[in-house]
Structure 1
Amino acid sequence: MSKVDRRVTKSKEAIKKALIELMSEKGFDNITIQDIADRANVNRGTIYLHYLDKFDLLDKIMEEHINNMRNFCESATEMDFIESTVHCMEYLESNYLFFSTMLASKGARYFRGRFLQFNIEEFKKDVDITKGKNFGQDEDVIVQFVANAYVGVVEWWLKNRMPYPPSVMAEKVGDLLERIL
């Protein structure tokens, strides 16, 4: 496995952070590559060395967070809804600027759809219509309902500047999920 140059990693992180900060301040459409370079304290060429354009940069950031969430979900398979939701809320909190920009503002409308689709895929694993409270229900309706409710609650939590700590929010959401799933 090749060794990653720490300077490259540091530059990429600065570039990603710069884009998210700028999006929270002035919206994606109003940002130029030069704005990102100035904020990240790198040359424009450094950005183009790693990304095709600002759209590619944003796509890579979104994909990174979706993959992080997917990896988290795969590692949380033995947890109940409340425990896994605590970890999820902590991840959202530790990446507040990104998620609040992507979900709670008009920063990147596309991300909400990707985040929703990710949650649909994850909740689909937990729906059982062969027995219990969801016996005989339509699986797609349940999954759509739960995933949209979850994304809506996350948006509300972020828009309101996380009025509850992650553990309290997770307990509230986890309790609701256990009632439905």
Structure 2
Amino acid sequence: MPSTDLRVVKTLKQIDQALLSCLAKAPFEKITVEQLCRGALINRSTFYKYYTSKYDLMERYLQRALDGFRRQVDVAFVNASPDTIQSLLYQKNFENTLHFLYKHKAEYTLLWSIPLEESVFSRMVDAVHDAILEKLPAQDPPDPYADLYARLFASDMMTLVRWWFQYEGRITATDVQDIMHKNMKQGMFRTFRERIH
């Protein structure tokens, strides 16, 4: 259970920020606990009070980041039809997800760039995929087409977000919403053809 002691919360946040700061400068393998402590303005004993190693910190940090993402992902669109996908309800749900991702843009783009055993971006795609499957009626055995299309939708959504972050300034959140809604309403190929001609 997370601590409500403000000193503990502040210390853990400082450690998280030190981790991100170090990751922006060096590969994880080269980061030391000493560097993390200096960055967080804490001593080693304080670090070891909360984490057993830098690997424990990284694992738990990634878990928190992914859990936060999972809580914010709203895939209610899977219940829409092509005629209702433009509904304000679905637009607002997707807008809220985009707002959350944009708020954490620096963190997620950094995490996406880190070479890990399993990429954070892939794990986020998996989280969207799983959320979509959870919205669908359960089938026994599982429908392989549901799995395929959940994967395609998840990849489309997350690739769209990554592209938006790459071209921020030229592409807005409204542009991203419009692309996603058109992809859902009329299909990706038709949206693509309209855009390039």
- 1:12 and 1:107, CA in 2 relative to 1: closer, same or farther beyond 3 A? farther
Whether 1:152 aligns to 2:159 is yes
Give, in whole Å, the separation in 1 of the partners of 2:3 and 2:15: 21
Matched ranges for 1:68-79 at <5 A: 68-73=68-73, 77=76
Q: Which residue of 1 aligns with 2:114?
A: 106
Letter in 2 for 1:166: A
Corresponding residue of 1:37: 37
> For the aligned residues, what is the CA RMSD?
3.1
* Correspondence list, 1:1-181, <5 A: 4-73=4-73, 77=76, 80-103=89-112, 105-108=113-116, 109-125=118-134, 138-161=145-168, 163-179=170-186
Structure 2 distance, partners of 1:154, 1:162, is 14
Question: Aligned partners of 1:124, 1:178: CA distance in 2, in Å?
Answer: 20
**TM-superposed deviation, 1:95:** 1.1
How far residue 9 of structure 1 moved from its aligned partner, in angstroms, is: 0.4
Alignment check: 8 A CA contact 1:124 1:143 kept:
yes
More divergent stretch after superposition (165-174 vs 11-20): 165-174
Q: TM-score, normalised by structure 1?
A: 0.78
Alpha carbons of structure 1 residues 77 and 148: separation in structure 2 relative to 1, 3 Å: closer
Cα shift at 1:127: 5.8
Q: Distance in 2 between matches of 1:36 and 1:158?
A: 28
CA contact (8 A) 2:125 2:155 kept: yes
Distance 1:61 1:170, change over 3 A: farther
CA shift at 1:162, angstroms?
6.3
Higher mean C-alpha displacement, 86-95 vs 52-61: 52-61
Shift of 1:6: 0.8
Q: In structure 2, how many angstroms separate the alpha carbons of the residues matched to 1:163 and 1:115?
A: 24
> Identity across aligned pairs (percent)?
17
CA distance in 1, matches of 2:167, 2:14: 27
Report how far residue 19 of structure 1 moved. Answer: 0.6
The alignment's TM-score, normalised by the length of structure 2, stands at 0.72
When residues 2 and 26 of structure 1 are mapped into structure 2, their CA distance, relative to the original with a 3 A threshold, is closer
* One-letter code aligned to 2:20: I
Q: Secondary structure at the match of 2:91?
A: helix
